[in-house]
Amino acid sequence: MNKIKCECGHVNPEGTVLCEACGKPVEGNQHIDGNDQRKLLNMRYDGSARRSQTYNKSIIDKIWNFFSSVKVGVWLIVLALAASAIGTIFPQEQYIPADAPSRDPSVFYEAQYGTLGQIYYQLGFHNLYESWWYMLLIALIGVSLVICSIDRFVPLYKALKMQKPKRHTTFLKRQRLFSETEHVTADEKDKLVSGLKKQRYKVREENGHVLAEKGRFSRWGPYVNHIGLIIVLIAALLRMTPFMYLDEYVWVREGEQTVIPGTEGEYYIKNKKFILETYDKNDERFKEAIEMQGNVAKNYQTNAVIYKEKGETVAGADPELEKVTEDKIRMNHPLKFAGYTLYQAGYQQNEFKSMTFKIHKTDDPDEASLGSFTIDLTEPKDEYQLDNGFSVDVTQYYPDYELEDEEPASKTNFPRNPAFVLTVHPPGNEEPEMSFVGIGKNVDATGENDYKLGIEDFETRYASGLTVRRDYTLPLFIIGAVIFMIGVIQGMYWQHRRIWLHPTKEGIMVAGHTNKNWFGLKKDIEQVIADTNVNMVDDQLDTD
Amino acid sequence: MDSLIDVSSTMLYTAFILYLIATFFFGATIRDKNKSSTKGAGVSGKIGITITIIGFLAQIVYFITRWMASGHAPVSNLFEFMTFFGMALVFAFIILYFIYKLNILGLFALPVAMIVIAYASMFPTEIAPLVPSLQSNWLYIHVTTVSLGEAILSISFVAGLIYLIRQIDQSVRSKRTTWLEIVLLSLFIFVGFSIISTSFNLSGYSAEFEYSFNGETVTTDYHLPPIAGPNEGELLTGDRMNPLFDAPAWMKGVDAARKFNTVIWSVLTGLVLYGLARLILRKRVGAAIQPFLRKAKPDMLDEISYRAVAIGFPVFTLGGLIFAAIWAQLAWDRFWGWDPKEVWALVTWLFYAAFLHLRLSRGWHGEKSAWLAVGGFAIIMFNLIAVNLVLAGLHSYA
Ligand code: HEM
């Protein structure tokens, strides 16, 4: 490496723009920070030698330089910004409304939004945030962040550590805030120093040369916040692994008990009761609003009991359970146990629990019952024997009936709209008859049936939808976010201010630099020089 | 109960009037003979800031009484949220005023706050109950910090706008003067919206339409004469004008056509107001204001614009991303779900991150930085208004 020895005696690394110790511009390197074009010195990294500005030979140099460029970084940020915005033009796949005529993305986008929607879907924008290129963009920002920070942090740290109170006059004159005063008494110089101390500057003196400094730690703000961001990005990466992040959904009906998915059969949940409350229509406060928008839900709640399986499972046998906890799960108030969290996420009203049918003669206007039977929808049997000799076969069962392409089908496995094809075997040797029965539907297959089935009664209940989560990445996100906040606040609410006093023959030069808030620095200097003859610094930016 | 609500709305009204009066006092500082009057003392400026603070206190009373009346912090629908945003704007202005003592800032910041509050008042103001997902203290913490962050960032826009009006060469027409006029015109459109809505509300105009939405027949009530009616809608109210045309079929969503109609009215009214201003002034609006800003120092404006971002960015990050994530985690069991409101908070955040990096490392000072501040404000307003009304997601307040 070609070290550069400055006239002040300090040896600088190759690529240095301003001597680390005295600030004298290193000839031949001024183009790096553009100082050859301007009167004022570029103080961004105190003129320290950055790898990216020094080497440009190997492939590695080139990659390094690419990612350490803020220009590239800003481009990446702007691209991510634009991509994110595009993702909101139409709803993402997961936000296709539940009541849409078709929730199949290949149909939905075109049906709702026409050609534009079709293009949107074909470009994969309906899943934009999970697309490989969006993730790549975010990853590139991460890479840029790391390289950029290393490229600048180390040299800046060294330069700030090496700096001496005595600075070269060229350095001082080319600061944004500068003044020179011909005649200044020793007394006044002392006043300046005590004034600086009074404003809580850290003052270092060397043969009458003074460096007063305040808030240097704020210079590390950007690096701290970038570390926070990197931690958040790593957390996001880990979140894609199933061990770190578990996400399941479970439906439990009132009075039922079921194994909690994702817990490897270890935990069970029982839904003792589901509660749905709405706001009172007669409440003075909300009367008007409720009249306008209709009923407003106040609370969704599942009263749940969590069980843990005890000992070994014997295949086939019912597990032996031990109660872990009993609690209410409400929106905004999840239930936590053994590292898992259960959230109230949805509910299904009026799910059918059981249905009771009666048989009567088709031509009987009174529909007098010849016998009835009850189908438990949790476990429908294949055949029901009635007391009076009838028997009924359950030929087909559609828990959530719909007509799909003219064919009967079940939309889900939940008994939300149960329908049956039932075969009635009358007593004696009469021919068996088939009927199709559901809510509001009663179809006779042949039109010649002697017996008809009618719904006599049914029971409904709520089903509660709960999300099951185990998220070990959460603490990492929190740590990252906290570090990020500390970093931005450190960098934004404090500033690094430096004031140099440089004695000349009988007078003094004053120069000042800050990384932001020049107004504050000027006010500091104004107060320091009050009651002295020292000239107020000029803001040379105006005359640049 | 009713009396509390009355006190509350009276106080909001009072605050609005006080901001208006304060604006005139800040305006008067332009004429102060005293050379240093744009900065520091100056009687008009002192009166101006005092009245502003009293107005702000009045608005605090509005906030507290409404809270007491409803039993929850009034930040849960568009009216309440926008009003709070207006209040935060005034608060942010007061903070920056005490740092920089720049009177001209008040002359522009208060009108922006007033436009926001007037705009807010056009939305339903009834006190509504909270649905379960909103019943969380994190809602208040989140919403208040986001608004405050966005308000401080908006002051950056105010300072940037003053910078642009002062600095852009108005002697010839250029791309820059045109863009500046567009920015000013958009402020006129907001004013237009408030004026036109108020006028027709006072006259009690109403026209009911029936149209089909997701296969069901629904009705919607227009409070502005229908220029654009619902797609294939039918006018139910007699003796009202028929729509000039139907809103395009792709405008789905509840009341999309009515909102579209309101936008048309606002733009038209804004254009008329702007046209009148041009007729009276006989020059570009920017050119007409420019001479009054001669005393303001451009580098001071530039610094305030930057400082506002430096102060507002961390506050926004905390409220808009971190608190939002905590609340979303509790309410919807995921701290980030890519719903439009969240995405636009991210867009805003990325935008200001780009702003800071451009300024810091690429030396975008002065005019470039001022244009960026304008862009940032546009994104904030888009998030507050368009995302709520158009790209409705989970947060949908409207
Ligand atoms: C979304 C991502 C990012 C955020 C939120 C962010 C945030 C910040 C903040 C708040 C600052 C301090 C700005 C100031 O003091 O005015 C900063 C400085 C900086 N950032 Fe970033 N940054 C991000 C991405 C990047 C990337 C991708 C790069 C790399 C090209 C980068 C390079 C820098 C540099 C070089 C500085 C100046 C450091 C110094 O003054 O020593 N940042 N960043």
Of A84, A296, A484, the CB nearest to B343: A84
Q: Closest approach of chain A CAs to the CA of B273, in angstroms? A: 31
Higher-confidence residue: A226 or B336? Answer: A226
pLDDT confidence of residue A317: 64
Per the structure block, which two tokens stand in for A317? Answer: 């046998």
Pairing of strands A419-425, A391-398: antiparallel
Judging contacts by C-beta atoms under 8 Å, the chain B residues touching residue A481 are 321-322, 325
Please name which of A301, A412, A303, A295 lies closest in space to residue A347, comparing C-alpha atoms: A301
- Tell me which range, A243-257, A264-278, B294-308, is most confidently predicted by mean pLDDT: B294-308
Element (H, E) at B226: none
DSSP state of A440: T
pLDDT confidence of residue A213: 92
> Judged by CB atoms within 8 Å, which residues 116-155 of A form the interface with B?
129
pLDDT confidence of residue B215: 64
Work out the burial of residue B241: count CB atoms within 10 Å of its CB; fewer than 13 is exposed, 13-18 middle, 19 or more buried: exposed
Interface test with chain B among A332, A466, A496, by most B beta carbons within 10 Å: A332
- Tens of pLDDT, residue by residue over B48-91, are 999 999 999 999 999 999 888 887 888 888 888 899 999 999 99
pLDDT confidence of residue A75: 94
Instruction: Label residues B189-215 b or e (16+ Cβ within 10 Å = b).
Output: bbbbbbbbbeebeeeeeebebebebee
Alpha-carbon distances of A30 from A118, A148, A156, rounded to whole Å: 55, 21, 17
pLDDT confidence of residue B33: 55
Mean pLDDT (whole number) for B222-243: 76
In chain B, % of residues over pLDDT 70: 89
pLDDT of B392 above 60:
no
Per the structure block, which two tokens stand in for B231? Answer: 């797609």
| pLDDT confidence bin for B276, thresholds 50/70/90 | very high
Min mean pLDDT across A48-57, A144-153, B78-87, B365-374 is at A48-57
Query: What sections of B136-255 are H helices per DSSP?
Result: 137-167, 175-202
A92 close to B338: Cβ distance less than 8 angstroms? yes
Interface membership of A249 toward B (CB under 8 Å)? no
Q: In chain B, which residue's Cα lies nearest the Cα of A541?
A: B299
For residue A543, the Cα-to-chain-centroid distance in whole angstroms is 47
Give the Å distance between the CA of A229 and the centre of ligand 1.
Answer: 10
How far is residue A319's CA from residue A309's CA, in Å, rounded to a whole number?
A: 6
Judging contacts by C-beta atoms under 8 Å, the chain A residues touching residue B133 are 331-332
Please name which of B365, B340, B368, B314 lies closest in space to residue B150, comparing C-alpha atoms: B314
Kindly report the number of other CB atoms within 10 A of residue A32's CB atom.
Answer: 18
> Mean of the per-residue pLDDT values for chain A?
83
Interface membership of A73 toward B (CB under 8 Å)? yes
How far is residue A360's CA from residue A117's CA, in Å, rounded to a whole number?
A: 53
Give the Å distance between the CA of A222 and the centre of ligand 1.
Answer: 6
Judging contacts by C-beta atoms under 8 Å, the chain A residues touching residue B391 are 88-89
DSSP state of A107: H
CB contact under 8 A, A332 and B131: no
Please name which of A33, A68, A58 lies closest in space to residue A159, comparing C-alpha atoms: A33
Please name which of B303, B343, B342, B352 lies closest in space to residue B149, comparing C-alpha atoms: B352
pLDDT confidence of residue B396: 37
Is A148 near ligand 1, meaning CB less than 6 Å away? yes
C-alpha count within 13 angstroms, C-beta hemisphere, residue A64: 16
Element (H, E) at A459: strand A451-471
Of A95, A296, A332, the CB nearest to B129: A296
Min mean pLDDT across A160-174, A484-498, B253-267, B312-326 is at B253-267
> Mean of the per-residue pLDDT values for chain B?
84
Q: If DSSP codes are grouped into helix, strand and coil, which group holds residue A517?
A: coil
How far is residue A2's CA from residue A16's CA, in Å, rounded to a whole number?
A: 11
Which residue lies with its CA nearest to atom 13 of ligand 1?
B356
Q: In chain B, which residue's Cα lies nearest the Cα of A288?
A: B126
How far is residue A359's CA from residue A425's CA, in Å, rounded to a whole number?
A: 11
Judging contacts by C-beta atoms under 8 Å, the chain A residues touching residue B71 are 285
- Tens of pLDDT, residue by residue over A70-107, are 889 999 999 999 999 998 888 888 777 766 667 778 88
Q: Dihedral (C-alpha) A81, A87, A90, A91: value to the nearest 10 degrees?
A: -130
Domain ranges within chain A, ordered by starting residue = 50-160, 165-215+495-539, 245-349+464-471, 354-455
pLDDT confidence of residue A23: 83
Q: Residue B39 phi/psi, 5° resolution?
A: -130, 140
Residue pairs spanning A and B at CB distance below 8 A: 145
| pLDDT confidence bin for B398, thresholds 50/70/90 | very low
Per the structure block, which two tokens stand in for B24? Answer: 């005139």
Judging contacts by C-beta atoms under 8 Å, the chain A residues touching residue B215 are 101
Give the Å distance between the CA of A226 and the centre of ligand 1.
Answer: 7
Please name which of A88, A84, A140, A91 lies closest in space to residue A112, comparing C-alpha atoms: A91
pLDDT confidence of residue A289: 72
B179 close to B225: Cβ distance less than 8 angstroms? no
Q: Closest approach of chain A CAs to the CA of B274, in angstroms? A: 30
Give all strands (DSSP E) within B231-368, no chain letters.
234-235, 245-246
**Above 0.90 for ipTM, yes or no?**
no
- Tens of pLDDT, residue by residue over B133-191, are 666 778 889 989 999 999 999 999 999 999 999 888 888 888 888 999 999 999 888 88
- The 3 state secondary structure assigned to B361-375 is HHCCCHHHHHHHHHH
- Tell me which range, A193-207, A269-283, B39-53, is most confidently predicted by mean pLDDT: A193-207
Please name which of A335, A299, A149, A296 lies closest in space to residue A224, comparing C-alpha atoms: A149
Alpha-carbon distances of A538 from A146, A196, B269, rounded to whole Å: 38, 19, 49
DSSP state of B134: G
C-alpha count within 13 angstroms, C-beta hemisphere, residue B321: 23
Q: Closest approach of chain A CAs to the CA of B115, in angstroms? A: 25
| pLDDT confidence bin for B254, thresholds 50/70/90 | low
Min mean pLDDT across A170-179, A260-269, A306-315, A323-332 is at A306-315
Q: Residue A274 phi/psi, 5° resolution?
A: -110, 135
Mean pLDDT (whole number) for A354-367: 83
| pLDDT confidence bin for B2, thresholds 50/70/90 | low
Work out the burial of residue B283: count CB atoms within 10 Å of its CB; fewer than 13 is exposed, 13-18 middle, 19 or more buried: exposed
Per the structure block, which two tokens stand in for B198? Answer: 């108020």
Domain ranges within chain B, ordered by starting residue = 2-170+283-389, 171-282
Mutating to test ligand 1, I would choose from A145, A219, A513 the residue with most ligand atoms within 8 A of its C-beta, which is A145
Q: In chain B, which residue's Cα lies nearest the Cα of A341?
A: B333
Min mean pLDDT across A276-280, B18-22, B43-47, B319-323 is at A276-280
| pLDDT confidence bin for A531, thresholds 50/70/90 | confident
pLDDT of B208 above 60:
yes
DSSP state of B385: I
pLDDT of B211 above 90:
no
A219 close to A515: Cβ distance less than 8 angstroms? yes
Of B303, B346, B361, the CB nearest to A518: B303
Angle between the B340-362 and B137-167 helix axes, to the nearest 10 degrees?
A: 40
B44 close to B25: Cβ distance less than 8 angstroms? yes
In chain A, % of residues over pLDDT 70: 95
Please name which of B59, B45, B46 lies closest in space to residue B17, comparing C-alpha atoms: B59
pLDDT of B289 above 90:
no
Under 8 Å CB-to-CB from A352, ≥6 apart: which residues? A377, A415, A416, A418, A458, A459, A460
Look up the CATH architecture of domain A165-215+495-539: 2-Layer Sandwich (3.30)
A332 close to B330: Cβ distance less than 8 angstroms? yes
- Tell me which range, A311-325, A488-502, B290-304, B321-335, is most confidently predicted by mean pLDDT: A488-502
| pLDDT confidence bin for B393, thresholds 50/70/90 | very low
| pLDDT confidence bin for A397, thresholds 50/70/90 | confident
A121 close to A102: Cβ distance less than 8 angstroms? no
Kindly report the number of other CB atoms within 10 A of residue A198's CB atom.
Answer: 10
CB contact under 8 A, B306 and A516: yes
Min mean pLDDT across A39-53, A505-519, B262-276, B302-316 is at A39-53
Element (H, E) at B73: none
Mutating to test ligand 1, I would choose from A70, A79, A514 the residue with most ligand atoms within 8 A of its C-beta, which is A70
| pLDDT confidence bin for A324, thresholds 50/70/90 | confident
Q: If DSSP codes are grouped into helix, strand and coil, which group holds residue A153?
A: helix
CB contact under 8 A, B311 and A493: yes
pLDDT confidence of residue B110: 92
Q: Closest approach of chain A CAs to the CA of B8, in angstroms? A: 14
Per the structure block, which two tokens stand in for B228? Answer: 């654009």
DSSP state of A534: P
Of A80, A493, A516, the CB nearest to B350: A80
Is A77 near ligand 1, meaning CB less than 6 Å away? yes
Per the structure block, which two tokens stand in for B29? Answer: 């500082």
